Structure 1
Amino acid sequence: MKKLVLILTVTMTLFLSKQATAQETIVDVAVGNEDFSTLVAALKAADLVGALQADGPFTVFAPTNDAFAKIDSKTLNSLLEVKNQKALANILTYHVISGKLTATDVVAALKKGNGMVELKALNGQVLTVMQKDGKIWLKDTNGNYSEIAATDVMASNGVIHVINSVVMPK
């Protein structure tokens, strides 16, 4: 039940924000949504706020606070330390694709790719998008999956798709 309430809250918040945030950057949208407070803290720690406020366009697969909570708290706290800024930036840029890919674009690419398409993330590594069990998933280079829970949260410099797990690069 708690998960359902969270999904509905995130979906409604993002749906309402779609209408009001067309002039806000990806960072502004994330800052304005309490479900992304961990993501915002991580962007600040990795010194990536300025990059995601740039013109873009970008496609961001944004993990919620619950997605970050799946990471061991000791590991997450360690990643937020200054000495691990480069490792954190590598993880976060693995969630960003150059260009604006809406849900319609992703579905079209999946049809063309027989249910699977590879995307090159800003960190240079590949994310695989796949359709499985009627849902759209990201598969990272380690073979872990993250469900795309909400799509097409528009910003002035791109689009956000909400995911339920943090994807990890090699």
Structure 2
Amino acid sequence: MRLIHTHTVRFTGAALAAIPLALGALTSPSSAQEPSPSPTGTFGSGCSALSQKADTAKDKVVDAAAAYPQLSQLVSAAVRAHLTDTLNDKSDVTVFAPDNDAFKKVSASQLSSLLSDEGQLKKVLTYHVVDQKITPDQLSDGSFTTVEGGKLTTSGSGSDFKVNGKANIVCGNIKAANATIYVVDSVLQPPS
């Protein structure tokens, strides 16, 4: 008698485990296809690796970027191009900030050439800046005019976004007093 009871319990447990699986298969395809909501806070796979020296929400954008050791090359380039005051004086801008690893992807000769040509450096750096606040919900299918004058596009969903179809946003929605910062893993090139 006990042997029969054991089989019944095993069968019942297996049947109960199968019910949620069967119910999951009955959900409508439209709910499975809905895009995930945009993040409201800081997001991205690279945020945990992005260390900062202080809270940046009250700092102007260049000072805020300087608080992140991973953005030191960008800050150095902005200083070299004499953009610090220009960027700090703007209000509600968005900066797609290449991290130090992004600069490593540029060949040594290209980087040297860029850093020695202030006009070209300014052109490249201002291509990373949009003269408006861009929120995460605008990133899924965005097209924006940069301070340089060219267009850049954003695409993606959830917390997975790209700029110009190539550069990944590794940490986004970082707040500064006058800017929103999205850290990207590639240096963006303005259209020629």
TM-score by length of 2: 0.70
- 1:153 alignment partner, one of 168, 171, 174: 174
Alignment of 1:116-135 (within 5 A): 116-131=141-156, 135=160
Q: Provide the rounded CA distance (Å) in 2 between the counterparts of 1:163 and 1:156.
A: 20
1:69 equivalent in alignment to 2:69: no
Decide whether aligned partners of structure 1 residues 132 and 23 sit closer, same or farther in structure 2, where only a CA change above 3 A counts: closer
Match of 1:8? Answer: 48
The answer on whether the counterparts of 2:171 and 2:183 sit within 8 Å (CA) in structure 1 is yes
Matched letter for residue 89 of structure 1: K
CA 1:150 to 1:73, structure 2 compared with 1: closer, same or farther past 3 Å? same
Residue 23 and residue 6 in structure 1: after superposition, are their counterparts in 2 closer, same or farther (change >3 A)? Answer: closer
CA shift at 1:88, angstroms? 0.7
**TM-superposed deviation, 1:58:** 0.7
Question: 1:59–1:158: 8 Å Cα contact kept in structure 2?
Answer: yes
1:53 equivalent in structure 2: 88
Q: 1:102 touches 1:151 (CA, 8 Å); kept in 2? A: no
For these two proteins, the number of residue pairs brought into alignment is: 147
Give the % identical residues: 31
In structure 1, the residue corresponding to 2:147 is in which secondary structure?
coil
CA contact (8 A) 1:62 1:95 kept: yes
Matched, 1:87 2:123: no
The one-letter code sitting in structure 2 at the alignment partner of 1:91 is: V
**TM-score normalised over the length of structure 1:** 0.79
Larger Cα Rg: Structure 1 or Structure 2? Answer: 2
Per the TM alignment, residue 7 of structure 1 is displaced from its structure 2 partner at its CA by 5.8
Deviation at 1:55, TM superposition (A): 3.8
Q: Residues 121 and 55 of structure 1: is their aligned pair in 2 closer, same or farther, counting only changes over 3 Å?
A: closer
